[in-house]
Amino acid sequence: MDVIDIPAHVPPHLVTDINIFALPGAETDYIAAWLALQERGPDGLIWTTANGGHWIGTRGDVVRSLWADTTRLSNEVLAVVPGLGEAMQLIPLQQDGATHKTFRDAVMKGFAGRHIAALEPQVQALARELAQGLVARGSCEFMSEYAEILPVDIFLSLIDVPVGDRLHLRPLAAQLVRPDGSMGVIELRDAVDDYLRPRIVPRITNPGSDLFSRILAEPVHGRPWTEDEALRMARNILFAGLDTVAALVGMTAMHLALHPQDQQLLRDNPDLIPAAADEFTRRYPSASVSRNAVEDVQVGDLTIRKGDIVYLPSVLHNLDAGSFDDPMAFRLDRKLNPTHHTTMGVGAHRCVGAGLARMELIVFLREWLAIIPPFTIAPGGRIAMKGGNVGTCTHLPIAWA
Ligand code: HEM
């Protein structure tokens, strides 16, 4: 255990030393690793001495209600990872209250449904091109050869830059998705900013028809965006939309490789793909978020004190039997309301890219199943995963006839 003082308001029986970045067993199944915390925290919270000491929400109702509480819990500091929040200053993720609303409203306009629908042909072309490049091979390592590439290419089409830029952005994106330790957080942020600055900042005064131009055309506090704000917003969208989409596409492919009957169902009934995409999104949550208490919060008999950090894993909401019936089952008859699960968050910070991510997943399923024959885990192949702020498959060897 780290040697830290356990605050007096934390009951000793809730104290553990679990490191959320090294959950036992996460490298083979990050979902099972999170779920193992359920029995440690039947009251809805546990407290860990790791990473400076913080709460972890362990029960679905507690995770969801704390996540939605933007009055007493702040987003300003990306807590748990020291220094990350100060380095990133993401807009709108790290904002609270009225300032958050102003910037988020502008970002939301860029992500309006009609704009997402207009992007679909481009996403479809990218998804098709990637799958066609693989089909003759009969096998691939799905994460590095498909799932991690698709969202980078989509990001490039969002900012309307030449496809040739892939070569420049992909290695940086790989560092974002799978840091190999060769770049620190600040170095990575600076490298990403060096790429984004000349492509984003000119759009404040000289807009095009791309997503970023549309966002930057919306005044904030009645004035144009500053260069710094534009960069922080672009950084947020880049950082938020790569690892998460790769995770969802990867976990979906893993499910299909392991469940040939579900794969066949969707091959036979492509009209079920949108409902399946919604259920995959509930069943395979990836993100966990952290909050700083700016007021005391009572949870049953427990008190989260002002200044405490709370960590909220969506796995422990979506896959709690108190939140969804038979939560581990992949079922198409749930009549899901996508705002009830927390894969995309809940409340004021709910993902602005949720519509885009849903469209990407649907297009992936349609194109992949149309091009790639029935596939399974490659013989002898081992699936690897990672936990942390975005849990995901990191290695998914698949094969087809
Ligand atoms: C499956 C894919 C995705 C997942 C699982 C996901 C998950 C999330 C979650 C859980 C939040 C809430 C964070 C919080 O409450 O602190 C969030 C916010 C956000 N996401 Fe996503 N996201 C995905 C895709 C995307 C995409 C594709 C984009 C943009 C291209 C995006 C942009 C953002 C932004 C800008 C925010 C901040 C919203 C705010 O603070 O108001 N995300 N996302």
Residue 1 has pLDDT above 50, yes or no: no
Residue 174 has pLDDT above 90, yes or no: no
Average pLDDT, stretch 125-150? 96
Average pLDDT, stretch 136-162? 91
**Cβ of residue 369 lying under 6 Å from some atom of ligand 1:** no
What is the predicted pLDDT for the residue at 250? 98
Hey, whose CA ends up nearest to atom 16 of ligand 1?
A: 289
The answer to which of 81-85, 149-153, 326-330, 380-384 has the lowest mean pLDDT is 81-85
Classify residue 274 as exposed, middle or buried by CB count within 10 Å of its CB (0-12, 13-18, 19+): middle
**Cβ of residue 192 lying under 6 Å from some atom of ligand 1:** no
- Residue 328 Cα distances to 226, 277, 278, 390, angstroms: 46, 15, 14, 19
What is the predicted pLDDT for the residue at 380? 96
| CA 347 to ligand 1: nearest atom | 15
Is residue 359 a contact partner of residue 277, using CB atoms and an 8 Å limit? no
How far is residue 401's CA from residue 136's CA, in Å, rounded to a whole number?
10
Hey, whose CA ends up nearest to atom 31 of ligand 1?
A: 353
Is residue 15 a contact partner of residue 6, using CB atoms and an 8 Å limit? yes
Minimal CA–CA distance to 314: which of 254, 387, 237, 395?
387
Residue 376 has pLDDT above 90, yes or no: yes
Q: What is the pLDDT of residues 287-340, one digit of tens each?
A: 999 999 999 999 999 999 999 999 999 999 999 999 999 999 999 999 888 889
Hey, whose CA ends up nearest to atom 41 of ligand 1?
A: 349
CA of 355 to the centre of ligand 1 (A): 10
**Cβ of residue 211 lying under 6 Å from some atom of ligand 1:** no
**Cβ of residue 283 lying under 6 Å from some atom of ligand 1:** no
CA of 261 to the centre of ligand 1 (A): 31
How far is residue 39's CA from residue 37's CA, in Å, rounded to a whole number?
6
Task: Please state, rounded to an integer, the average pLDDT across all residues of the chain.
Answer: 92
Residue to mutate, 244, 314, 390, ligand 1, most ligand atoms under 8 Å from C-beta: 244
**Cβ of residue 353 lying under 6 Å from some atom of ligand 1:** yes
Average pLDDT, stretch 381-388? 94
b/e code 353-380 from CB counts within 10 Å (16+ = b): bbbbbbbbbbbbbbbbbeebeebebbee
Q: How confident is the model at residue 3 (pLDDT cuts 50, 70, 90)?
A: low
Q: What is the phi-psi region of residue 198: left when phi exceeds 0, alpha when psi lies from -120 to 50, beta otherwise?
A: alpha
Domains located in the chain, CATH noted: 12-400 (1.10.630.10)
Average pLDDT, stretch 115-140? 95
- SS3 of residue 297 by DSSP: strand
Residue with tokens 């709690």: 320
Residue 283 has pLDDT above 70, yes or no: yes
Q: What is the pLDDT of residues 216-254, one digit of tens each?
A: 999 999 999 999 999 999 999 988 888 899 999 999 999
Helix ranges restricted to H, 259-338 = 260-268, 273-283, 315-318
CA of 58 to the centre of ligand 1 (A): 21
Q: What is the pLDDT of residues 68-124, one digit of tens each?
A: 999 999 998 876 777 778 888 999 999 999 999 999 999 999 999 999 999 999 999
**Cβ of residue 313 lying under 6 Å from some atom of ligand 1:** no
Classify residue 352 as exposed, middle or buried by CB count within 10 Å of its CB (0-12, 13-18, 19+): buried
Residue 389 has pLDDT above 80, yes or no: yes
What is the predicted pLDDT for the residue at 163? 73
What is the predicted pLDDT for the residue at 352? 96
Residues with Cβ within 8 Å of residue 47, at least 6 apart in sequence: 6, 10, 14, 15, 16, 53, 54, 55, 56
The answer to which of 92-96, 177-181, 371-375 has the lowest mean pLDDT is 177-181
Average pLDDT, stretch 205-224? 92
**Cβ of residue 63 lying under 6 Å from some atom of ligand 1:** no
CA of 15 to the centre of ligand 1 (A): 30
The answer to which of 3-17, 272-286, 353-367, 372-386 has the lowest mean pLDDT is 3-17
Q: How confident is the model at residue 133 (pLDDT cuts 50, 70, 90)?
A: very high
CA of 136 to the centre of ligand 1 (A): 35
Residues with Cβ within 8 Å of residue 279, at least 6 apart in sequence: 330, 331, 332, 334, 336
Is residue 379 a contact partner of residue 125, using CB atoms and an 8 Å limit? no
Start-to-end CA span in the chain (Å): 50
Strands 302-304 and 297-299: antiparallel
Q: How confident is the model at residue 178 (pLDDT cuts 50, 70, 90)?
A: low
